[in-house]
Chains A and B, each alone.
Chain A
Amino acid sequence: MQTSTHAQAGAKVPDLPQVQPQRNPGTALDLDWVAAVQANTSAIERRAKTLPGRRSVKKDWQAAWLLRAITLIDLTTLAGDDTPGRVRRLCAKARHPVRDDLLEALGMTGTRLTTGAVCVYHEMVPPAVAALAGSGIPVAAVSTGFPAGLSPLHLRIAEIEESVKAGADEIDIVISRRHVLTGDWQALYDEMRAFRAACGPAHVKAILATGELGTLRNVARASLVCMMAGADFIKTSTGKEPVNATLPVSLTMLRAIRDYGARTGHAVGFKPAGGISKAKDALTWMTLMKEELGDDWLRPHLFRFGASSLLGDIERQLEHHVTGHYSAGYRHPMG
């Protein structure tokens, strides 16, 4: 067997849990760099299409990878009918995502296994913070007029500040798609800078809403500008666009992350969101991360899934691994 631990050209982030990795401080806006970005759609699609056939994890490896996938999930509820009770239930699931008997059978006893975060709207931040107290699980809040991002700028900034004040550790902002579509990179950069500043110590994930950006080249350019403006993560989608996380879009963003890392030395995280609901999808995305960016991007400080139903499928697959029988959804506690 071989290992593949060579980092891609780019920053190698120390993989020690007790060390807080350095955040991406951003750079000046480099419009020449932005203008030089190319993304060949059909070639990117070919790579994305063949990738799932090029790598395969089976048996114990599959189980281990799925357990890892759980730690990468931003367990999410973004519904108009969310209530504190609903959020508390979700947080309980985040603390305790897999049945103990399964963990024991997998030899994972003693390993603290939680989801990467819980992701909610602003109003649900306080119940989430309360429910997760002492767990170490961060609360992420979608913000800035999510999902369209078309409320007044000062209100969007104020929304971030309110959520941070309420205890959110991570803020998922939405960019103004119009700045990308009109090529106003300066405006996009300034907006992102302002959001980042408003976040203070909270980490900021920039949602590009790639389904509304028109082209992969726009995706690549928007990715770069947001990283230059100090995004800690770039994220594909709100989950509310007609097209959400796809492999070609993800590949485009990962290459931008790699390019940015190679030139600046700063590691930026990635979060695909929307439509990733199967264990097999999770494995495909993890393979993509490992192949394109390296093993550091299989850790929650650099990679998250935005997902609500993914965990359920993973639980069923884990039980199948343990028992040899296909599982049923009702056998696993709901979130």
Chain B
Amino acid sequence: MTVKEIFETMDYGPAPEDARPAMDWLEGNDRRFGLFIGGAFRAPLSGRHFETVNPADEVTLAHVAEAGAADVDAAVAAARKAQPGWARRSGHARARHLYALARLVQKHARLLAVLETLDNGKPIRESRDIDIPLVARHFYYHAGAAQLMETEMPGQAPLGVCGQVIPWNFPLLMLAWKIAPALAMGNTVVLKPAEQTPLTALLFAEICREAGLPAGVVNILTGAGETGAALVAHAGVDKVAFTGSTTIGRRIRAATAGQGKRLTLELGGKSPFIVFDDADLDSAVEGLVDAIWFNQGEVCCAGSRLLVQESVADGFYARLRARMDKLRVGDPLDKAVDVGAIVDRGQLDRITRLVEDGTAEGAQVHRTAAPLPEGGCYYPPTLVTGLDPAAPLMQEEIFGPVLVSTTFRTPAEAVALANNTRYGLAASVWSENINLALDIAPRLAAGVVWVNGTNMFDAAAGFGGRRESGFGREGGREGLYAYTRKIPAATPRRLVARQGAARAAPRAGDGIDRTAKLYIGGKQARPDGGYAMPVAGPRGRLAGHVGLGNRKDIRNAVEAARKADAWGRTHGHQRAQILYFIAENLSARAAEFAARIRAMTGQQIKAATAEVDAAVQRLFTYAAWADKYDGAAHDVPMRGMALAMNEPVGVIGAICSDAAPLLGLVSVMGPAVAMGNTCVLVPSETAPLAATDFYQVLDTSDLPGGVVNIVTGRHGDLAGPLAGHLDVDAVWCFGAAELSAPIEAESAGNLKRTWVNDGLGRDWAGPDGEGQEFLRQATEVKNIWVPWGA
């Protein structure tokens, strides 16, 4: 076209970013890459390579090594060897390395951006303006975290070797989210990038060398699913961090069960984008562009489920369709392209099939008017309206540029629809009424809520989900705790596996026979099975009976706990008063409880009395914390605030310690209840009568029914149903050694959080029996982003 013609048509022309420097880099490596192990690239022991392809034109970019089992061994060994030395360095020394990484990422920013776009298909604008700057920002933030670790996180130690598996949608950014906090806290890593997008990780490996990072601190293993599976299952790995699909996350949870590994999962989502009638509708439309047409919709926290108030829905859809027709789909290297290529043909086929199957009946489909490029993996931005909540497209994660929508009538209905999902990653709320928006945000089941915005990220604010979107947070302080462990004050004793139930010898009663029941929904309940379990005292004498709880009792208890969730909306002050009152009432009956403990355990009365006293103190501790475990207002680069709110996890099931019959129970109940959770407690199997006495204390202390439920019985029988229950949000286990593995395995069903003892005991009477570790386990951090502007 001539200038004169363009002068008339006023079209956009091509605006290509030059790919040559990235191609030169590939050529310089002969388009063939080894594995980065122990500070050097080496050929894979597997002898295998695979291709990585540019999805924009489906041309092969390079051949990349496929790490086999022996390669994983070598990388883990290198990381293991490097870890003690890395952890021994001062925080400042680690900070200098992370700072160097941040600076080098900035120096190589354009090369990284172009390479990312070539390998992934995302528009150059996004890799240049969003991905890479966020990568640098993450290393800066965590340089600071390393610098401050010694003073700000006393008593925390690194975990060791981290096995990290990341997805293809934000290849380098996810690498940064994984590597920066791990290194800052003194861990070393073996990271596997996605097989579709390994190139920027390999360039990052070069950057690690340039930064003078000690050999073995960062190891990069390229490969596909098999490599990832070998890495996460490797016995030499202490912590597994995974970002990717819920399906694979569930598999990893099951595969690592009982291995004593720490695990964080950042999985899929179907995040709601809620538009109220008083929203700035044009801005909300623009928000949707950034929510679902950002990165081709291949974003775990994409606002993919539009919920719009019925009164403005038609007008809103009209504006949205008009806006969609302005989106430019095409060559990702073109600086004026909004939507690039889908990462590969497999993903393109998956999106295509999901939409075809999902729009068969009744749905209205609108696609962008602009034609798609010939060849390459492209899918047009798509809006599907007229769907019901039951439609598969409303429930399944599509992971493509497809927005689905339905309407709501009231704020309450908006919340109900928003939470009607197995996922819980992110949410957007659009309203000019701060009163409404700030009421809705805390009620959404999500780890991140954006008010009048979407897809805002920063290293200072934690990111992560609830429900089947996974657990753990990346970024912020909470993200640092995911890469550390508390150094116990007392060396934990290894628990032995239970030797089968002790048989109690019958003994003549010398008073009125007492019947301990279960405690469910604030009422004493007979066990569903109708069986009682004898409790053996010292020398095998019968100390009494408790109900033998079964899976139906667990069901009833969870139901009662869920029903009591209004507890989570009470104030800390109110919860504190009740905890103090429980302590007061327990204290009044201290002698009775001490005698009971003695009768079950045979301890001296002095020791038993000390346990009761410790339980009273512990209740005070959590009463104290109830109104003091504050959230934070993060300093994020935005005019506004990012509020980190500590929310209750929900329903927590806990297997209590056998060792301290009363203190073990109170020590888990205290933090759970103080933080607003409701709970199902399975007390000591061998000495449960203190717990059944304790429900009488609860009954007289104004605790609402259902907040604490107590199910006695055999831990081995109850742990499974509790861990497998899909309406339980977390399971804690302080019981016998053999319980940890099945609990972690069963938890994979709804990907509930688990906190198990891996067969290690705990000194309940000492400082290890309480503290912030418990509070962190009893809370979920929700980051609520509230930009403002007059």
Please tell me if the beta carbons of B432 and A55 are within 8 angstroms of each other in the complex.
Answer: no
Instruction: Please name the residue on chain A nearest to B16 by beta carbon.
Output: A58
Please tell me if the beta carbons of A54 and B338 are within 8 angstroms of each other in the complex.
Answer: yes
Interface residues of A in 263-296 (CB under 8 A from B): 290-291, 295
- 30 pairs of residues in contact across A and B, judged by CB atoms under 8 Å: A1-B12, A4-B11, A4-B12, A4-B326, A6-B322, A6-B326, A6-B369, A9-B318, A40-B279, A40-B283, A40-B789, A42-B453, A42-B640, A42-B787, A44-B280, A44-B283, A45-B789, A46-B290, A54-B336, A57-B15, A58-B14, A61-B6, A63-B3, A64-B7, A65-B10, A107-B3, A108-B7, A214-B790, A258-B282, A290-B10
Interface residues of B in 207-230 (CB under 8 A from A): none
A106 touches which of B3, B278, B322 (Cβ 8 Å): B3
Q: 1/0 per residue B252-282: CB within 8 Å of A?
A: 0000000000000000000000000011111
Please tell me if the beta carbons of B335 and A4 are within 8 angstroms of each other in the complex.
Answer: no
CA distance A38 to B287 in the complex (A): 15
CA distance A243 to B292 in the complex (A): 34
Contacts A40-B432, A55-B336, A68-B10 known; list 6 others, CB within 8 Å.
A46-B290, A55-B335, A58-B14, A64-B10, A255-B282, A298-B10
Please tell me if the beta carbons of A4 and B370 are within 8 angstroms of each other in the complex.
Answer: yes
Please tell me if the beta carbons of B370 and A2 are within 8 angstroms of each other in the complex.
Answer: yes
Please tell me if the beta carbons of A111 and B4 are within 8 angstroms of each other in the complex.
Answer: yes
Instruction: Please name the residue on chain A nearest to B326 by beta carbon.
Output: A291
Query: Which B residues touch A108, using CB under 8 A?
Result: 3-4, 7
CA distance A8 to B13 in the complex (A): 21
Q: Does B413 contact A (CB under 8 A)?
A: no
Tell which of B13, B15, B318, B329 has the most Cβ of chain A within 10 Å: B13
Q: Does B477 contact A (CB under 8 A)?
A: no
Please tell me if the beta carbons of A54 and B319 are within 8 angstroms of each other in the complex.
Answer: no
Query: Which B residues touch A58, using CB under 8 A?
Result: 13-15
Q: Does B9 contact A (CB under 8 A)?
A: yes
Q: 1/0 per residue B713-730: CB within 8 Å of A?
A: 000000000000000000
Please tell me if the beta carbons of A38 and B281 are within 8 angstroms of each other in the complex.
Answer: yes
Q: A57-B15, A64-B3, A108-B7 are in contact. Are A39 and B280 (CB under 8 A)?
A: yes
Q: A8-B322, A9-B318, A38-B278 are in contact. Are A56 and B336 (CB under 8 A)?
A: yes
Distance to closest chain A CB from B126 (angstroms) = 10
Interface residues of A in 55-95 (CB under 8 A from B): 55-61, 63-65, 67-68
Distance to closest chain B CB from A97 (angstroms) = 14
Query: Which A residues touch B287, using CB under 8 A?
Result: 43
Count class of interface residues, chain B: 35 or more
Query: Which A residues touch B640, using CB under 8 A?
Result: 42
Q: 1/0 per residue A31-55: CB within 8 Å of B?
A: 0000000111111111100100111
CA distance A253 to B108 in the complex (A): 40
Distance to closest chain A CB from B389 (angstroms) = 27
Instruction: Please name the residue on chain A nearest to B338 by beta carbon.
Output: A54
Query: Which A residues touch B338, using CB under 8 A?
Result: 54
Please tell me if the beta carbons of A40 and B452 are within 8 angstroms of each other in the complex.
Answer: yes
Query: Which B residues touch A309, using CB under 8 A?
Result: none
Query: Which A residues touch B32, using CB under 8 A?
Result: none
Please tell me if the beta carbons of B4 and A59 are within 8 angstroms of each other in the complex.
Answer: no
Query: Which A residues touch B432, using CB under 8 A?
Result: 38, 40
Query: Which A residues touch B638, using CB under 8 A?
Result: 42
Interface residues of B in 650-684 (CB under 8 A from A): none
Q: Does A215 contact B (CB under 8 A)?
A: yes
Q: A9-B318, A56-B335 are in contact. Are A41 and B789 (CB under 8 A)?
A: yes
CA distance A3 to B12 in the complex (A): 7
B13 touches which of A1, A39, A107, A298 (Cβ 8 Å): A1
CA distance A203 to B2 in the complex (A): 34
Query: Which A residues touch B4, using CB under 8 A?
Result: 64, 106-108, 111
CA distance A55 to B338 in the complex (A): 9
CA distance A259 to B312 in the complex (A): 14
A1 touches which of B14, B125, B290, B369 (Cβ 8 Å): B14
Q: Majority SS of interface residues in chain A?
A: helix
Instruction: Please name the residue on chain A nearest to B318 by beta carbon.
Output: A9
A3 touches which of B9, B278, B280 (Cβ 8 Å): B9
Residues of A in contact (CB 8 Å), total 46
Please tell me if the beta carbons of B370 and A43 are within 8 angstroms of each other in the complex.
Answer: no
Please tell me if the beta carbons of A50 and B6 are within 8 angstroms of each other in the complex.
Answer: no
Q: A8-B322, A61-B13 are in contact. Are A41 and B790 (CB under 8 A)?
A: yes
Interface residues of B in 59-108 (CB under 8 A from A): none
Query: Which B residues touch A1, using CB under 8 A?
Result: 11-14
Distance to closest chain A CB from B200 (angstroms) = 21
Q: Does B330 contact A (CB under 8 A)?
A: yes
Q: Does B1 contact A (CB under 8 A)?
A: yes
B2 touches which of A47, A54, A107 (Cβ 8 Å): A107
Q: Does B328 contact A (CB under 8 A)?
A: yes
CA distance A53 to B125 in the complex (A): 7
Instruction: Please name the residue on chain B nearest to A58 by beta carbon.
Output: B15
Tell which of A53, A107, A290 has the most Cβ of chain B within 10 Å: A53
Tell which of B5, B10, B452, B787 has the most Cβ of chain A within 10 Å: B10
Please tell me if the beta carbons of A215 and B13 are within 8 angstroms of each other in the complex.
Answer: no
CA distance A60 to B287 in the complex (A): 33
Q: 1/0 per residue B1-41: CB within 8 Å of A?
A: 11111110111111100000000000000000000000000
Q: Does B788 contact A (CB under 8 A)?
A: yes
Q: Does B47 contact A (CB under 8 A)?
A: no
Q: A58-B15, A107-B4, A291-B326 are in contact. Are A43 and B280 (CB under 8 A)?
A: yes
CA distance A55 to B640 in the complex (A): 28
Q: A43-B280, A68-B10 are in contact. Are A56 and B15 (CB under 8 A)?
A: yes
Would you list the 3 A-B pairs with minimal beta carbon distance, nearest first? A41-B789, A61-B13, A64-B6
Please tell me if the beta carbons of B319 and A60 are within 8 angstroms of each other in the complex.
Answer: no
Q: Does B129 contact A (CB under 8 A)?
A: yes
Instruction: Please name the residue on chain B nearest to A37 by beta carbon.
Output: B280
CA distance A159 to B317 in the complex (A): 45
Please tell me if the beta carbons of A61 and B11 are within 8 angstroms of each other in the complex.
Answer: yes
CA distance A75 to B393 in the complex (A): 55
Query: Which A residues touch B439, using CB under 8 A?
Result: none
Query: Which B residues touch A45, using CB under 8 A?
Result: 789
Distance to closest chain A CB from B634 (angstroms) = 16
Q: 1/0 per residue B350-387: CB within 8 Å of A?
A: 00000000000000000001110000000000000000
Please tell me if the beta carbons of B286 and A47 are within 8 angstroms of each other in the complex.
Answer: yes
Query: Which B residues touch A262, using CB under 8 A?
Result: 318
Q: Does B514 contact A (CB under 8 A)?
A: no
Query: Which A residues touch B280, using CB under 8 A?
Result: 38-40, 43-44
CA distance A54 to B279 in the complex (A): 25
CA distance A287 to B319 in the complex (A): 19
Query: Which A residues touch B635, using CB under 8 A?
Result: none
Query: Which B residues touch A258, using CB under 8 A?
Result: 282
Q: A9-B318, A39-B280 are in contact. Are A111 and B7 (CB under 8 A)?
A: yes
